[in-house]
Structure 1
Amino acid sequence: MRMAVSKKSVTVFKSYQSQAEVLVKDYLLSDPFIPYTAVFGGIFACKMLYDLIQLISTFYFRSYAGLTKIQRIEWNNRGMSTVHAIFIATMSLYFVFWSDLFSDHRLAGLVTFRSSPLSTFTLGVSVGYFLADLGMIFWLYPSLGGIEYIVHHSLSGVAVAYAMFSGEGQLYTFMVLISEVTTPEINMRWYLDITGLKRSIAYLINGVMIFIAWLVARILLFIYMFYHVYLHYDQVLQMHTFGFVLVFAVPSALATMNLMWFGKIIKGLKKTLAKSQ
């Protein structure tokens, strides 16, 4: 009797497993549904990360309990953005420098129209993050950031969403997203400041790391991107008008903001170095 029940349970489990596999393969991860699955997955992952960071911080960081309510929210939010930054910067570096997807020599066709299920899914996760973070910024405005954050996230979100849905200009989107490599250092600076470690050696080292990462990822890399666009201008011209405008307008706006912030980073680093002497 028990063996019969056991066999029946196994059969039912395998049936549900088979149905789940069909659902994932034929719907959630089929090409037409990948963008939507990725976006909702990104939003869900942000919610899970926020709650997990809150839980871990409550038990393992004594300074967390002494923060105000809005500081705890920002603490969790920055943890969430750090995980996203590590994910998207890693994937972007892979697609731009190591993958054959956007290679001029190994694949035929226009580089501006190349995409893959993995690249589309990656961009969708990032769109989910930008939507989740923008929602928090608007809800708590201006506690989590002023108008510059709204402009930055809105421009980035629109450009990433267009590249995801259309498949156009994904290479240049990933080039811009590499700049997220600076986010963990920026967030760490805030963590060190809020926990009273502003005069520590860790704060100084972090400041130097921000300067180097910003110079490479948000200044030099943008120059390389514009040079790449110049070399492939004939291919960029074949994009739809909206995509063509995005290739120039979004990176130009972000580059201008990056230069303004870089000036502030240099001033802040000078002050930190002067105090440490």
Structure 2
Amino acid sequence: MDMAAHALPINKLQCLSSVFCGIFMCKIVYDLTGAISASFFKGYNKLSNKEKLEWNNRGFSTFHSIVVAAGSLYLLLFSDLFVDSEDVLFVNKSSTLSETIMGVSIGYFLSDLAMIIYNYPALGGIEYILHHGLSMFSIVQSLLSGQAQFYIFMVLFTEITTPFVNLRWRLDVAELKNSKLYIYNGVALFIGWLVARIILFVFLFFHMFAHFDQVKKVYWLGFYSLIAIPPVLSLMNLFWFWKIARGMVKTLRKSKQT
């Protein structure tokens, strides 16, 4: 069965516009981050060009994470979009809002991936390219087919941990690793990562198994992507979680000795 046989109608102009809005959002927030930081954070001007690049880059990644996490939370818990009904399976449900959020997210991943590749490896190694590539591939499929958006938003919600990751990097660069804020943020990152990127993925796999009768009705490429991509992302999350846990334990031990 091809994708067209399952696809719900989508507003192509709206989707394309939301992608460009995502790219434009990244550009605006990138510039604002630099301008605001230069005005209100004295240490910003002492950073190297490479550090300023990453500092500003993490500005729009933080903004994107807050936007998509809030949107995902609303669609998953507070809207009735993905409630089962007799006329439409939940794996086939989409809305103007869900398509807009996904388009904005594609714009972000395109922008960030372009910066990572252009400045490689200053902004991240091959694992970031793999993560962004798989994420974008999954979102584009779901957006074009109108299918499996419920699971896409479960994965997008995991971006809620990004502000903690970015704050940790900024505090490190600002030489504030011994501050209480660094310790509190590290603990919050550990807990947030455990809940949003480990436990939530376990729930995602359980939900897919419990609703496999609907999952297998997703068009063939989308179906195999659902089977293959989440496990890869979860392994990456486990690897990063191990590094986060080690870092937190090291920081807590160091704080007790001082």
TM-score normalized by structure 1?
0.87
Q: Counterpart of 2:175 in structure 1: which amino acid? A: G
Distance 1:237 1:35 in 2: 26
With a CA cutoff of 8 Å and minimum separation of 6, indicate the structure with the bigger relative contact order. 2
Cross-structure match for 2:18: 38
Residue number among 58, 71, 80 corresponding to 1:100 in the alignment = 80
TM-aligned CA deviation for residue 227 of structure 1: 1.0
**Given residue 266 of structure 1, which amino acid in structure 2 is its aligned partner?**
A
Per the TM alignment, residue 45 of structure 1 is displaced from its structure 2 partner at its CA by 1.1
2:49 matches 1:69? yes
1:186 aligns with 2:169: no
The alpha carbon displacement at 1:31 in A equals: 2.0
Structure number with bigger Rg: 1
SS in 2 for 1:33: helix
**1:229: how far off?**
0.6
Match of 2:182, as an amino acid? Y
Q: Does 1:87 align with 2:85?
A: no
- Deviation of the 1:145 alpha carbon: 0.2
Cα distance, 1:204 vs. partner?
Answer: 0.5
Partner of 1:14: none
**Equivalent residue, structure 2, for 1:266:** 245
**Aligned residue number for residue 235 of structure 1:** 214
- Once the two structures are TM-superposed, the CA of residue 199 in structure 1 deviates from its matched residue by 0.7
Asked whether the 8 Å contact 1:178–1:217 carries over to 2, the reply is yes
Once residues 126 and 198 of structure 1 are traced to their aligned partners in structure 2, the CA distance between those partners, rounded to angstroms, is 31
Matched residue, 2:184: 205
- Superposed displacement of residue 108, structure 1: 3.9
The one-letter code sitting in structure 2 at the alignment partner of 1:77 is N
The DSSP-based 3-state class of the residue aligned with 2:83 is coil
TM-score of the superposed pair, with normalisation by structure 2: 0.94
Paired-residue identity, %: 49
Q: Which runs of 5+ in 2 are unaligned?
A: 1-9
Matched, 1:112 2:82: no
Matches within 5 A, 1:131-210: 131-210=110-189
Is 2:39 the partner of 1:59?
yes
- Letter paired with 1:273: L
- Paired with 1:33 and 1:230, the residues of 2 have a C-alpha distance of 35
Encode CA deviations 1:167-189: one digit per residue, 9 max, x unaligned. 11100000011110000000000
Is the contact between residue 35 and residue 165 of structure 1 (CA under 8 Å) also seen in structure 2? no
For structure 1, the residue ranges without an aligned partner over 5 or more in a row are 1-29
Deviation at 1:32, TM superposition (A): 2.8
Distance 1:94 1:156 in 2: 20
